A and B are shown apart, each in its own frame.
Chain A
Amino acid sequence: MHELSIAQSLLGIVLQEAGRHGANRVTKVAVKIGALASVVPSSLTFSFDLIKEGTPAADAVLEIERVPAMGICRACGARMDMSGLVEACPDCGSKEIELSSGQELYVDHIEAE
């Protein structure tokens, strides 16, 4: 629901990094978004494409990699898919399961010239 403000933060980071490296044209922006982060990739792309106009990132393609929601059992170390509700570790039955990925929301790298 707030993809536009996320796109604004994203563009700010991209332009700052490009400027720091003396680049004047950004061609690609690669971000990682966890499956559990409440961000809709198509809305983020839509917002980013709207606001990048007239900036050095005007031609940048936004590449979104979805990071799956994974958990790790604190008792036995088993790894499991956490995209649904996981009540217990399928291997040992422990309920102490820690989320190990799925909440990411970061800029991985950009390509610029």
Chain B
Amino acid sequence: MAEIEVGRNILEANQTLAEALRKRFAAQGIKVLNLISSPGAGKTSVLEQTLRRLGGRLRCAVIEGDIQTDEDAQRVAACGVPAVQIQTQGACHLDGPMIGEALDALELEGLELLIIENVGNLVCPVDFDLGEDMKVAVLSVTEGDDKPSKYPALFRAAGVLLVNKIDLLPYIDCDLERIHATCRTLNPQQKVFDISCRTGEGLGDWVTWLESWVRG
């Protein structure tokens, strides 16, 4: 009987691939965002609004992750942006190999911004690095102001938080300040934008910030 020291990260296979993707993106000058939220928080609406407001000022492409259907890729393509749909067939998150495969279907030359919309899930996607520069969390106010404290991993890891559906605040019991305070505690460096994809409120600030981040 022998004890064998191992000391290996269980997710090392994904991590190694993600690091290779990150190098590849950096070499081509592409900034990459990993968009994460629960189902229905408005990730695809945020994408549509963001792409429309960018109005072609940045060369963008999108990778869409869903368990089934290509509806989201169609919505993005309608904004005039190349989109590849990954159907995970049940898997609760995207991983490095899926992104590597999706890249084969995209023209990366000249691209400035790649946005990956993860599978709607507040838990699992956080553990799987996709080679992104930054995670962006979307939280809609209708989900409740307790979500950042109940699901802290995403809100700790996200460089940007978009608090969506703020046009509904008058009709629901959601304390926006509690969301802000919890997220400040979890990640003091996080950039927060309160937005509404229906009224357009806050989207201008977000898109201005995004544009300078990509060029910066």
Contact = CB atoms under 8 A, between A and B. Distances in A.
A106 B2 contact: no
B30 interface: no
A111 B4 contact: yes
Interface string B1-16: 1111111111111100
A21 B153 CA distance: 37
Interface in A56-113: 85-87, 95-96, 99, 105-113
Contact of A109 (B4, B92, B186): B4
Contacts, number: 86
Interface string B108-136: 00000000000001011011000000000
A49 interface: no
B152 interface: yes
Which of B3, B6, B92, B123 has the most A CB atoms < 10 Å from its CB? Answer: B6
Interface string A8-32: 0110111001100101000100010
Given A9-B11, A85-B186, A23 B4 contact: yes
Given A36-B152, A110-B4, A13 B182 contact: no
A107 B6 contact: yes
A31 B12 CA distance: 14
B149 interface: yes
A85 B182 contact: yes
A110 B186 CA distance: 35
A38 interface: yes
B43 interface: no
Contacts of B11: 6, 9, 105
A36 to B, nearest CB: 6
B185 interface: yes
A9 B5 CA distance: 17
A9 B92 contact: no
Contacts of A12: 13
Nearest to A21: B4
A1 B126 CA distance: 12
Contacts of A107: 6-8, 10
A50 interface: no
B31 interface: no
Nearest to A28: B3
B6 A2 contact: no
Interface string B180-216: 0010011010000000000000000000000000000
18 contacts: A1-B92, A1-B124, A2-B93, A9-B10, A9-B12, A13-B6, A13-B8, A14-B6, A27-B1, A36-B152, A38-B123, A38-B127, A86-B185, A95-B188, A105-B10, A109-B7, A112-B4, A113-B2
5 tightest A-B CB contacts, nearest first: A107-B6, A1-B92, A87-B185, A106-B9, A113-B1
